[in-house]
Amino acid sequence: MATPSLPLIDQLRRLIAEPTQDTYTDGLLSTMLARYPLPDVDGYVSTDAAWAGVWDVNQAAADCWEEKAAMVASDYDFTADGGSYQRSQAYANMISIARSFRARRKTSVLVLQAQPRPDNAPGLMDWLGNAPEVD
């Protein structure tokens, strides 16, 4: 199976505002990208040998931003020495950025397949096909 390229990892690093490997190593970002394989331009998917290796960088960026938001979720607002500190804004901003990236993710297709009605199934009258039921 192909692995995400360094230019794609660098792009993800820029999208999540992490210029160094202090928090997110290249290996960790590669693993996050690998969660979201996409079909390539020829229609091959990640399980095909001819797959070109395409990943959804926006979906991975959204995951990273949600993870970063979780790290500051317990921060609270307070007032001290005449100043007001709204630390909850960091969490709200990170969640907003995550939603923005989640909205840019690639959509997928869900293919539904019709199943024949099981004529020999026990309790045939209780079987639900497509509602409303027809006796």
Cα 52 to Cα 39: distance, rounded to the nearest angstrom: 8
pLDDT tens, position by position, for the chain (135 residues)? 688 999 999 999 999 999 999 999 999 999 999 999 999 889 888 889 999 999 999 999 999 999 999 999 988 888 898 888 888 899 999 999 999 999 999 876 666 777 766 666 555 555 555 555 555
Write the CB contacts of 58 (distance below 8 Å, at least 6 apart in sequence).
15, 101, 102, 104, 105, 106
Q: Could you tell me the two tokens for 26?
A: 């290249």
Supply the pLDDT for residue 15.
Answer: 97
Inter-CA distances, 61 with 5, 6, 48, 80, 112, Å? 16, 15, 25, 35, 29
Beta bridge partners of 55: 37
Q: How many CB atoms lie within 10 A of CB 129?
A: 12
CB of 15 closer than 8 Å to CB of 27: no
Cα 12 to Cα 82: distance, rounded to the nearest angstrom: 40
Supply the pLDDT for residue 113.
Answer: 74
Q: Could you tell me the two tokens for 126?
A: 């209780």
CB of 129 closer than 8 Å to CB of 117: yes
